[in-house]
Amino acid sequence: MEVCRTVGEVRAAVRRHRERGAKIGFVPTMGYFHEGHLSLMRRARAECGAVVVSIFVNPLQFGPREDLAEYPRDLERDLRMAREVGVDVVFTPADEEMYPPGYCTYVEVLGLTEKLCGLSRPGHFRGVTTVVAKLFNIVQPDVAYFGQKDAQQAVVIQRMVRDLNMPLEVVVLPTVREADGLAMSSRNVYLSPEERQAALVIPRSLARAVEAVKGGERNVAVLREMVRGMIAAEPRAQIDYVEIYGWPDLEPLTVLTDRALLAVAVRFGRARLIDNVVLEV
């Protein structure tokens, strides 16, 4: 496995794989790997001749009062895990490699980013689309893999790729969960044991909504208030949002007709957790 620090290095590494005819699979990450990341790498490994993973905690997608400084990092452990999965190339650039002095170019998806996490984290998606556009241009993959855990990010990136005619395919894979249902997230390390237990209200409330839809409930406000009420009843939970939008266009809904995204963001102590489920009628 090659570990590259510069754009030039990773481009040379990818070129060697491309010249031997390999399809290039790419998994962009912020590191501190869990099974969610590994599931993306395994799928890339199964589908592509070469697997490239980036590890970059992108400062541009963190707000001034967010957790950039304390975001968990463990490069040695990440490299070990990537090697075990059979990754070919890891790109882990310094901040200055990605944003040199005088940097001033941004990629922005409007509309889709003006709700959910786009409201609670102004500038977040501009940071995401900018860094992902850069990474796509650097790696030039045939396929890029993202997790459904970040559902809004996934549709925003798919829209960017479609709108800007980026020459690659975006694959979105299911959220990986702990045995008790909590969605895997690098930010779960922020949780105290009590908060970790309390956070189970998130997957439970999502499951309750799925059951209600199965039972015939179609009223979006009713479903939303059911989930909101369950989470609000947990004293350690502080709701950021509980919303239901059409899937995958995130259009406003009052009645479920087809597919809808039930998405939540909830704080437990200093951890802001997100999770979602696609409700299908």
Task: Please identify, using beta-carbon distances, which residue of 58 and 186 lies nearer to a copy of itself.
Answer: 58
Give yes or no: 37 in active site.
yes
Binding mask 238-277 toward a copy of itself (x if CB under 8 A, else -) reads: -----------x----------------------------
Task: Please identify, using beta-carbon distances, which residue of 143 and 232 lies nearer to a copy of itself.
Answer: 143
- Please identify which of the residues 17, 34, 37, 124 carries the catalytic annotation: 37
Largest CA distance in the chain: 57
| Cα angle 192, 196, 198; round to 5 | 115
Q: What distance in Å separates the CA atoms of residue 49 and residue 191, rounded to the nearest whole number?
A: 38
């975001």: which residue's tokens?
Answer: 71
How crowded is residue 233: how many other Cβ atoms within 10 Å of its Cβ?
10
């930010």: which residue's tokens?
Answer: 187
Closest CB 241 distance from a copy of itself, rounded Å = 21
**What spatial distance separates the first Cα and last Cα of the chain, rounded to whole Å?**
45
Q: Which stretch binds a copy of itself (CB under 8 A): 33-41, 69-77, 156-164, 272-280?
A: 156-164
Q: What distance in Å separates the CA atoms of residue 164 and residue 180, rounded to the nearest whole number?
A: 40
The tokens describing 81, both together, are 């895990």
Q: What distance in Å separates the CA atoms of residue 196 and residue 182, rounded to the nearest whole number?
A: 9
Closest CB 64 distance from a copy of itself, rounded Å = 18
Closest CB 46 distance from a copy of itself, rounded Å = 26
**Residue 107 binds to a copy of itself (criterion: CB under 8 A):** yes
The tokens describing 266, both together, are 């909830």
Strand 89-91's sheet: what is its strand order?
2-4, 89-91, 50-55, 24-29, 143-147, 169-173
**Residue 63 binds to a copy of itself (criterion: CB under 8 A):** no
Q: What distance in Å separates the CA atoms of residue 161 and residue 112, rounded to the nearest whole number?
A: 14
**Residue 8 binds to a copy of itself (criterion: CB under 8 A):** no
Q: Which stretch binds a copy of itself (CB under 8 A): 25-33, 100-108, 147-155, 171-179?
A: 100-108
User: What letter represents residue 164's amino acid?
Assistant: L
Whether 205 contacts 227, CB under 8 Å: yes
Q: What distance in Å separates the CA atoms of residue 225 and residue 213, rounded to the nearest whole number?
A: 14
**Residue 101 binds to a copy of itself (criterion: CB under 8 A):** no
**Residue 192 binds to a copy of itself (criterion: CB under 8 A):** no
**Residue 233 binds to a copy of itself (criterion: CB under 8 A):** no
Q: Which stretch binds a copy of itself (CB under 8 A): 65-73, 78-86, 109-117, 192-200?
A: 109-117
**Residue 20 binds to a copy of itself (criterion: CB under 8 A):** no
Closest CB 216 distance from a copy of itself, rounded Å = 32
**Residue 11 binds to a copy of itself (criterion: CB under 8 A):** yes
**Residue 134 binds to a copy of itself (criterion: CB under 8 A):** yes
Closest CB 223 distance from a copy of itself, rounded Å = 26
- Supply the residues annotated as catalytic: 37
Which residues bind to a copy of itself, rule: CB under 8 A? 7, 11, 102-112, 129-130, 133-134, 137-138, 140, 159-160, 163-167, 249
